[in-house]
Structure formats: C-alpha cells, structure tokens
C-alpha cells in the first residue's frame, strides 16, 4: 500500500523545526546512521530503520537518491520475526522436561521458567528470518509536511519515535484538533471557543 | 497546545461533525464545494458510509456498503442521533476520477485510488511517475484541507448554531 501501489493509505504530519545546513547532508547522515540493519541469524525479534524507496531490501542513499523533485522520498522498514505461540509452547515444554530430568527436580521456579522461555525464544529467533514491512514516506521539507503511507497505529508510532531520534524535529499528526488548531487560520478567540465546544446534536 | 492523545480523543467529535456536515453539503450545496476549488468538480458519496450512535454508554455502529446501496438507513440513523464516522467519496474533475475513504476521528485517508499514471518501463521512469502520483495525491489532501477549513470557519461562527445546524436538522427530518 505504498506510494506507487494501486491504492494508498496516508497519515499526514506537520514537521516543526529546521535542520542544520547543508540540509541534504544532514538528512543523508541521519538516514545512514539509522538505516535498517539485518537481524537474520541474530537473536533480536524486531528492528526498525530507514531504507531507500527504490530498493528497500538494500538501502542506498548515495547521490541524493532520496530526493525526487522538491520531495525527500524514503521509507521506514520494520523487520519482525513472527514466531507462532504454539511453536514457542512446544519448544518451551521440551526444554522444561529436559531441565527437570537433568536436575531431578519436580518443579521449576518462576525465574527458571522465564529463563527457559527467553532461551527458547532466542534460539528460535536465530533460526527464523524476519518479515520486512515497508512504509513509504514523502517529506516536503520546505512545506513542513510529511505523508506516511500507512494508517497502522504501531507503524505510525515507530515512525514518530525514529523520526524524532534521527532528525530531532517534531512530527505533529494531523487529526481534527491539530488541523483546526494549526491549519485553519482562526482567531485566538475562535480557537478558545473551539476548545471549549461540545458535540453538536443534529436530531430534532 | 493540549497533549496530543488527549486532544485526539476529546475532539474527535469535530471530525464526525465534519463528515456529517459534508454529507449535507454534498446533497444540498455543491456550489460551496465548487467555490473552494479551482476547477468545477463533482464530489459524491461512494460505496461506504459508517455511522455511530452513542446510546447511554453503548456505541451502536451502522455500516452501509455496496455500489448500489441506498442511504436511507444512514438517514434513519441520523434521525436517531448518529453521526458519520467514516465515508467513501468519489471525486471527479475533468475526465479524472479519484476515490478514497476518510475517517472522521483521525482524518486519515485510506483506499485512495487516483487516476492512472504513466507506466514504469525503465528505472528512469520512476521519478516522473512519483512526481505525477504526488500531484494526484495532493489533489485529495488539498480538497480535504479546504473543506475542513471551511467547516471549522463555519463551526466557530454564530452561523453554525443559528442557521447551519437548523438547516441540517431540517434536511434530516425531511429526508426519507
């Protein structure tokens, strides 16, 4: 459901603040610094990072490739290992039986059970490849606007966190209140009136 | 400014009122929509509308969908006190057509379908198609912004309670 997909979902943001000049260099440096890293054959369950729009599986930001027209175009990639609960349960039970047999104990403590669960999850994470999810971004730096091509709450939260960490700029989501407050050219008196307003009743 | 999550939840009713007002405007005052656009446009309700009615503490949700679905059930829900929470719109200007869903509480756009862009046959085509696609998306974001701005202007004016709300009530009560 990205920028070039037949249908798109867009969450809109305003970007407050300015970057250090030269701007493109600042953006390039942060994209590189926070670009996605591979976690296959690694115990991590999830990783989030920037990737390039044209080749999201091999991030490449060289030669201002993230600039198209007056827009900055790149993507957020979230790689996650989805291990079915039943698979974890099976390996956890096998490991627990093994541990009980080895120690000759009848029960394991809560801490020991947690240790086994962490161990099993880590072992499975090493064997399961991460599933990549890619969400395109169109950032119009001069206009101070950003489009994120997903309405998923979790993906939007990952974007807001990584964007702040990378660029140290505020990302303000556009929704009824922020749009009225920041984009509607209303007077302070009217803004005050709006914040005190309550829902209209349309029934007779 | 208020905390984001507080303002999101506290003022989502503005988004629902916006969509309810928009339905009224589409049916009764298309000139207003045209006056906000550079070129003559057509904006009609598409194949989906979701309404919500709060009855005491419970929320009743009504979804009407389908290309030939009538909106009578929606009007009936409005009569019972519901507001529009999500709507599918079809927008036309010249020979070009867009369709999209807009959600009241977030103003998020989904299922946005734009007119066709040029094909991508080689790597060099991507840049042109991306710029074209952004231009086409912008048509919708600008449309929503201009409509929402107009709604807010009316919502904070005396005209809202004096004339607009009574007119919407009349439209709801006379509609079958």
pLDDT at A147: 98
For chain B, say whether A151 makes contact (Cβ under 8 Å): yes
Pick from A12, A69, A204: CB nearest B131: A69
The number of residues in chain A equals 204
Q: Where are the alpha helices (DSSP H) in chain B?
A: 4-10, 12-28, 30-35, 72-79, 125-155, 158-159, 165-174
- A71 neighbourhood in chain B, CB within 8 Å: 130, 134
Ramachandran quadrant class, A64 (left: phi over 0; alpha: psi -120 to 50; beta: rest):
left
- B169 neighbourhood in chain A, CB within 8 Å: 202-204
Pick from A177, A194, A198: CB nearest B8: A177
Nearest CA to CA, how far is A68 from chain B (Å)?
Answer: 6
Is B49 in contact with B88 (CB distance < 8 Å)? yes
What is the per-residue pLDDT across B103-134, written as a single tens digit (0 to 9) for each?
Answer: 999 999 999 999 999 888 888 899 999 999 99
Q: Which residues pair with B96 in a beta bridge?
A: B93
Domain map of chain A by residue range? Answer: 11-80+132-175, 85-126
Q: Which of residues 69-128 of A touch B (CB under 8 A)?
A: 69, 71, 73
What is the per-residue pLDDT across B65-108, written as a single tens digit (0 to 9) for each?
Answer: 988 778 888 999 999 999 999 999 999 999 999 999 999 999 99
Q: Which of residues 121-150 of B touch A (CB under 8 A)?
A: 123, 126-127, 129-131, 133-134, 137, 141, 145, 148-149
pLDDT at A105: 87
- pLDDT in single tens digits along all 204 residues of chain A: 699 999 999 999 999 999 989 999 999 999 999 999 999 989 899 999 999 999 999 999 998 889 999 999 999 999 999 999 999 999 999 999 999 999 888 888 999 999 999 999 999 999 999 999 999 999 999 999 999 999 999 999 999 999 999 999 999 999 999 999 998 889 999 999 999 999 999 987
Q: Which of residues 106-125 of B touch A (CB under 8 A)?
A: 106-114, 120, 123
Mean pLDDT of B147-155: 96
What is the per-residue pLDDT across A7-43, written as a single tens digit (0 to 9) for each?
Answer: 999 999 999 999 989 999 999 999 999 999 999 989 8
Nearest CA to CA, how far is A169 from chain B (Å)?
Answer: 16
**Residue from B5, B6, B7 whose CB has the most chain A CBs within 10 Å, to mutate:** B7
Contact criterion met (CB < 8 Å) for A180 and B13: no
Residue B56 reports pLDDT greater than 90: no
SS3 A39: coil
SS3 A84: coil
- A172 neighbourhood in chain B, CB within 8 Å: 4
pLDDT at B38: 83
For chain B, the average pLDDT equals 93
Here the tokens at position A139 are: 């950032």
Nearest CA to CA, how far is B13 from chain A (Å)?
Answer: 6
Residue A53 is given by DSSP the state S
Residue B175 reports pLDDT greater than 90: no
- B78 neighbourhood in chain A, CB within 8 Å: 202-203
Q: How far apart are CA A117 and CA A111, in angstroms?
A: 10
Q: Is 0.90 topped by the overall pTM? A: yes
SS3 A103: helix
SS3 B150: helix
Here the tokens at position A149 are: 């091509």
pLDDT at A1: 65
**Nearest Cα residue in chain A from B17:** A200
Pick from B113, B152, B160: CB nearest A180: B152
pLDDT at B26: 96
pLDDT at B1: 61
Mean pLDDT of B29-37: 91
Report residue B126: phi and psi, to 5°: -55, -50
Cis peptide leading into residue A192 (ω within 30°): no
Q: Which residues pair with B84 in a beta bridge?
A: B51
For chain B, say whether A143 makes contact (Cβ under 8 Å): no
C-alpha dihedral (A120, A159, A71, B105), degrees to nearest 10? 130
Cα-based distances in Å from A108 to A85, A94, A105, A114, A118: 21, 14, 7, 10, 15
Is A162 in contact with A50 (CB distance < 8 Å)? yes
SS3 A159: helix
The number of residues in chain B equals 176
- B171 neighbourhood in chain A, CB within 8 Å: none
Cα-based distances in Å from B43 to A11, A37, A201, B15: 22, 45, 25, 18
Contact criterion met (CB < 8 Å) for A197 and B155: yes
pLDDT at B70: 81
Contact criterion met (CB < 8 Å) for B120 and A180: no
Confidence band of B7 (pLDDT split at 50, 70, 90): very high
pLDDT at B54: 87
């Amino acid at each position: 459901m990205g920028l070039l997909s037949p249908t798109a979902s867009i969450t809109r943001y305003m970007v407050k603040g300015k970057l250090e000049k030269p701007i493109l260099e600042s953006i390039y440096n942060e994209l590189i610094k926070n670009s996605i890293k591979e976690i296959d054959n690694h115990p991590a369950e999830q990783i989030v990072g920037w990737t390039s729009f044209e080749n999201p599986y091999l991030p490449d930001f060289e030669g201002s490739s993230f600039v198209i027209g007056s827009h900055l175009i790149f993507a957020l990639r979230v790689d996650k290992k989805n291990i079915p609960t039943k698979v974890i349960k099976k390996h956890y039970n096998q490991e627990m039986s093994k541990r009980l047999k080895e120690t000759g104990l009848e029960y394991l403590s809560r801490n020991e059970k947690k240790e086994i669960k962490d161990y099993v999850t880590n072992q499975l994470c090493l064997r399961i490849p991460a599933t990549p999810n890619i969400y395109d971004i169109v950032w119009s730096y001069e206009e101070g606007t950003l489009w994120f091509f997903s309405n998923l709450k979790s993906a939007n939260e990952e974007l807001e966190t990584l964007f702040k960490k990378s660029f140290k700029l505020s990302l303000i989501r556009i929704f009824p209140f922020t749009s009225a407050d920041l984009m509607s050219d209303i007077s302070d008196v009217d803004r005050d009136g709006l914040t005190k307003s309550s829902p209209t009743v349309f029934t007779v | 400014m208020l905390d984001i999550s507080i303002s999101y939840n506290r003022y989502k009713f503005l988004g629902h009122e916006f969509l309810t007002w928009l339905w009224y405007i589409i049916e009764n005052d298309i000139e207003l929509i045209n006056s906000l656009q550079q070129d003559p446009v057509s904006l009609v309700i598409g194949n989906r509308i979701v309404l919500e009615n709060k009855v005491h503490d419970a929320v009743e949700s009504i979804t009407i969908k389908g290309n030939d679905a009538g909106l009578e059930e929606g009007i009936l829900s409005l009569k019972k006190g519901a507001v529009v929470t999500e709507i599918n719109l079809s927008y036309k200007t010249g020979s070009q057509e867009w369709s999209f869903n807009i959600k009241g509480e977030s103003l998020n756009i989904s299922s946005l379908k734009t007119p066709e862009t040029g094909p991508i046959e080689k790597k060099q085509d991507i840049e042109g198609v991306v710029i074209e696609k952004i231009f086409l998306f912008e048509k919708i974001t600008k449309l929503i912004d201009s409509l929402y701005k107009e709604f807010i202007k009316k919502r904070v004016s005396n005209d809202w309670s004096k004339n607009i709300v009574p007119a919407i009530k009349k439209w709801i009560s006379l509609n079958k």
